[in-house]
Structure 1
Amino acid sequence: MTTDTSRTARKRIHLAAHFPGVNSTTVWTDPRSKSQIDFSSFEALARTAERGKFDFFFLAEGLRLREHKGLIHDLDVVGRPESLTVLSALAAVTDRLGLAATVNATFNEPYELARRLATLDHLSAGRAAWNVVTSSDAFTGENFRRGGYLDRADRYTRAAEFVATARELWDSWTPPAPGAPYGTPRPFAHSGRQFEIEGEFTVPRSPQGHPVVIQAGDSEEGREFAASAADVIFTRHGTLEAGREFYADTKSRLAKYGRDPDDLKIMPGVTVVLGDSDAEAQERAAGIRRQQVSPQNAILALEQVWGRDLSAYDPDGPLPGIDPDPDSALVQGRVRIGDPLAVAAKWRALSEAKGLSIRQTVIETTARQSFIGTPEGVAESLDTFVRTGAADGFILVPHLTPGGLDDFVDRVVPLLQERGAFRTEYEGATLRSHLGLPAPEWKGSAA
């Protein structure tokens, strides 16, 4: 354990909570697992995150129920509620916790979404955040009037202009006069390749100026977009070395946009498994992996790569000898895992080298925990990632709804606080203050 206990020189960790939902991380067979749609689940997890002094609560998005062999995917059968509606309700039962909604920039329009986000920022007294995502998926596009989809190359072009337009709208009211709570609306006009709009925005500038903008993605386009327009990047990397490489690369891009390195917080999504000893934690982690990848889920994961009906294969038997179908439409609404032929070759090599069955191979390659160990060991590892430039913080993705954060908040957060690596109390009221982000310049917008 580190002996550095300085509270002033130490870099502080940022923490956020991801609500577990329709994904393979969540263990729905556990008797402690509750509803993914009842408000009580959202409220319970959010209250735990706020008790732990987390920066924000994070909701994912799904714009269409995924399909497998023409049937609704098992994990989607209960559906997904709309994020901003849920967070508006949570604003009434939390006081300081940031509220982050994932909303697609491909299938929304700037005026409507900017208005909804600004409203949430007012309702929550400055705690709103927008996780900007894009889609090049024609399957999802079928749910929308515009139909079709954007070419992959155009996704970030639209997203960048979307964010810029939203910020113009948030800035379009005049600053308030002395003693007045709000300014006055003034006309806005935006003319660009993606949007041609003008009018007057209906919501005054919100308590933190602009809602915090989060961007999710590790691609080259995603990194550049985050450097130019985002306040937080939600990423993933499995090792300390990979984290440092991503961190250095992404931070190095900020200067060209006139931004400082601290203007963008890098927060990978992680999972944590705790035990009273390292051996107990490893045993628990292995049990969770087996729950996440049931025999049925193993075949589903295999079909996602192979693009073929593999229901006749034994999950405890060897991998298929046939090659994947790279043009398959067997799975709709889910991203195939990389290049199918390359992934299959990698999985076969691993299976042969270790003598793994289909299920064991899927467990080895897709179900993993980021931090496994005692509370002291996990606190040390999290602190090391941040102190050595691999992350600014973490978005925790628990495997249970809604009690999956309880152990972390009760057993790890106090240790981080003792180190001076994490706050003991909220020091501000807005999400920007929690994250240490600068207030946005009031540029204004006029027709």
Structure 2
Amino acid sequence: MPSTRMRTTAVLAAAAALAAVAGCASGNDSGGSKSGLRLYNDKGAWKPFFEQMSALGKQQTGLDMKPVGYTDEPTYTAFIKSSFRTKVKPDLFTWQTGGRLEEIVAQNQVAETTSIWQDAIKSGDLTQDLAKYYTVGGKQYCVPLNTGYWGMFYNKKIFAKYGLAPPTTWADLMKIAQTLKGGGQVPFNQTTPTSLFSFAWFEQLLAGTDPDLYERLSTGRASYTDPGVVKVMEQWKSMIDSGYFSNPGDKADPADHFKAGDAAMVISGTWFNTSMTQRGLKLGTDYGFFLIPNVQPSLPKRSLIFESGPLCSLRKAPDAAASTKYLKWWVTPGAQEKWANARGDVSGNPKVKIADPELDKVTKEAANGGNRLVLRYFEAAPAPVLTAALSGFDGFLSKPGSYMAVLKDIQKANEDYWKNHKAGS
């Protein structure tokens, strides 16, 4: 769990942010009919792309949108939850699907979007497959801010130096890591500047070994001390012990590591492509991307980690009609084409053509029938379990021998949560 100091700092920062917003709110920004909306988000680095959407949205909807971005996840989460209890409400905000969406729906805070989904599915702008990630109690909430598939970004110059090609099996991937390590090159970037994505290798190893166990784990029907989970942690430890990862104490941005060639590969969602393009690198020329083969080759389909981040409005938004209008516009082909291609990413709208031919290949490969979509751990795990897991995995990276203690701690949070919730729901 986060330290008391971290939680206190986040809450104080959130309170300060609310006070600042309250202090500057006036006229239309304090309620009533609005021509301008504030979009609070935990993606501060995406400010230029939100601003491009703001200009397009003003032109096509008449609504102005100002992005208010955070780069620290605990502070952002505390800010949004604090806003539930104050008169200062965000017009729009980003969140997560899975347990964290269910949490704020249960608190009766987030606006229902069932009619938006029904209309968008009918027009072909959204799919029924995607709708299930936004469904709680048979109703839809929020719309897709972004979608992404997880795989491996790799440095093409480093691969060429060692005569390497993208792997087709897990054994190939481990041979690549061994070759790079033998040449003095770090194969994989370990994690991010925070513990936010410390789950990445856990989910990849488990989903690629036993996707059914992965899904049972996320719905309370399996234990974190299950032999299959323990085996995955032992495999992860073995990879760390083999020197395949960068130093977990290094807090440099993974994109900077990647550009500098400090690590040959980075496991991430397709949205990481945005970080690459922001650094002047080009997909297909400077780097490539491959979907990661299963650890267990006998699985009938490749387990493909999938995520979709929501864009939401509150049930008691300052101007519910304006927020709803913006959400309806957000999922249209015109809006989504601008949003996806500006960032160099994929879209939840199947009508959108991805401009980058290399990225378009990725989306086509991800969409074929040979993949089994697996919800990203960040969304799949219930919020209290996720908190324990992020803290535990972060500690494990520094002390790999602690894996059993880590699993027991996560399992304690898992048991506590499912005591009060129906497993499998």
Instruction: Check whether TM > 0.5.
Output: no
**Normalising by the residue count of structure 2, what TM-score does the alignment of the two structures yield?**
0.27
**Normalising by the residue count of structure 1, what TM-score does the alignment of the two structures yield?**
0.26
**In proportion to residue count, which structure has more helix?**
2
